[in-house]
Amino acid sequence: MIHVFIQGVFQYSHKNDVEKQCAVVLGSYPGLSPSMEKYYYPNGTSKDLIALGGTIPIKFKGASYNIPVSIHIPDNFPYQHPIVYVKPTNSMAVRSSHTVDPNGLVKLPYLLNWNSRTHSLVHVVKAMVHDFSNCPPVFAKTAPPQQSPQQYPGYNPYPQNTYGQQVATPPYPAGGIDVNRRTSDSMMPPPYPPPYGQTPGPGAGSNLPYPANPPAYGGQFPSQPSNQHTQPQSATMYGSGAKNDGQIDPIKASLLTAIAENLSRRISNAQEMAQKDLDSLNGVQAQLKSNRDHLEMTVGQLEQQIAMANSHLDLLQQKKLDIESAIEQVQQKAEVTDIDDCISPSCPLYKQLLNLYAEECAIEDTTYYLDKALMDNVVDLETYLKNVRALSRKQFMVRAQMQKARQVAGLKNITPH
């Protein structure tokens, strides 16, 4: 059935995933059935979406109830979480909480943190069952009291510890007490509802015991009717602080239980938030310590480099002073030193070697320029040969003298080039 229904829908791009997950939900929760509904978005647009509507079973205070819901499957499911609403009947009203807003929109953390790889539609329903079992999202609207066709003096139409007559009861747990309304004589709690889908028969009310911890009532309690056949029972008036046959007032016990659960939930949420903040602060502290160690190491390296640079600067300053002092001493000398005296050999033999070497270099330069002059036709061939022969003889004598002087001075002989 679900296969034929989904295959007829064209706007879904992931029909296989939708069909598979819807089949699991419908198989696990028979109270739900598929249908096509027009869903209106907050921006005014609308789309025809698959909706799984019906009831899901919960257990609250030991009793079973069926909560009406409607699960709309968006066209890009499973990459977008389903849109879930609580759909109360005309005899019920939505009880807003941290997971259900006044319009009935369900805001479970499982939906808000939706992940297409790890989350599924059946777990959405399971999360609703778990949350609604702790705090039902609907309560029964209080109906005006109806007079029994047979009344007698002393008859009390409001049940106390047990049901004394057949009453029309809503199929859902009642909401919280309206403390803003006060009755003229006394306020009595409405009867505890039977499970969803059961209609109390004749005498059935007397077989349903009043729970030890009834759910918090959200509807307003009706005022005690002014009827001549009814008598106020001061022993069971709400707010009187009296007890019924030595038992604790169930309304008071219910209020205490609801307050304790609410405080426990708030304390748990506050602890979780504080733990998350503490973990975040610990991470920031660890990062700051790491950055501090890195900065200290960097500062130490910079201090070492600054000390080394200062030592080099002092050395350069001293060298600068030495150079300035030497320049000043040179400038103060009156006589000018001949450059040849600065390179004068230490003995006559070395001076002879220096002069012979200089003469040989001069002969080589002269020969070079004679070659260039011949190439440029500055001198004729006869003049060129005459001068080259004279220079060659002279160069031979100079080299022979250099070899002899080097032998006398104990220097290594050099090969002429």
The 10s digit of each residue's pLDDT in 219-270 is 333 333 334 343 333 333 333 343 444 455 677 777 888 898 899 999 999 9
The 10s digit of each residue's pLDDT in 167-184 is 343 444 444 433 333 333
Q: Does residue 78 have a cis bond before it (omega within 30 degrees)?
A: yes
Higher per-residue pLDDT: 47 or 5: 47
The 10s digit of each residue's pLDDT in 316-355 is 999 999 999 888 887 777 565 666 666 777 788 888 888 8
Structure tokens at 323: 């150079």
Can you tell me whether residue 379 is helix, strand or coil? coil
Higher per-residue pLDDT: 348 or 217: 348
- The whole-number average pLDDT for the span 75-104 is 90
DSSP type of residue 232: -
- Which pLDDT does position 323 carry in this prediction? 92
Whether residue 277 has pLDDT greater than 50: yes
Higher per-residue pLDDT: 112 or 254: 112
Instruction: Look over the chain and give the mean of its residue pLDDT values, rounded to a whole number.
Output: 76
Least confident stretch, 13-17, 110-114, 329-333: 329-333
Which of 123-127, 174-178, 413-417 is predicted most confidently? Answer: 123-127
- Which pLDDT does position 315 carry in this prediction? 94
Higher per-residue pLDDT: 48 or 188: 48
What sign does the dihedral 272-274-275-281 (CA atoms) show? Answer: positive
Which of 28-42, 88-102, 294-308, 326-340 is predicted most confidently? Answer: 294-308
Burial class (CB in 10 A: 0-12, 13-18, 19+), 402: buried
**Neighbour tally for 170: CB within 10 Å:** 21
Tell how strand 92-94 and strand 83-86 pair up: unpaired
Higher per-residue pLDDT: 163 or 276: 276
Whether residue 84 has pLDDT greater than 90: yes
- Which pLDDT does position 334 carry in this prediction? 53
**Neighbour tally for 365: CB within 10 Å:** 10
Whether residue 416 has pLDDT greater than 50: yes
- The whole-number average pLDDT for the span 299-321 is 94
Specify the pTM: 0.37
- Which pLDDT does position 413 carry in this prediction? 74
Determine what percent of the chain is predicted with pLDDT higher than 70.
69
The 10s digit of each residue's pLDDT in 72-81 is 999 888 899 9
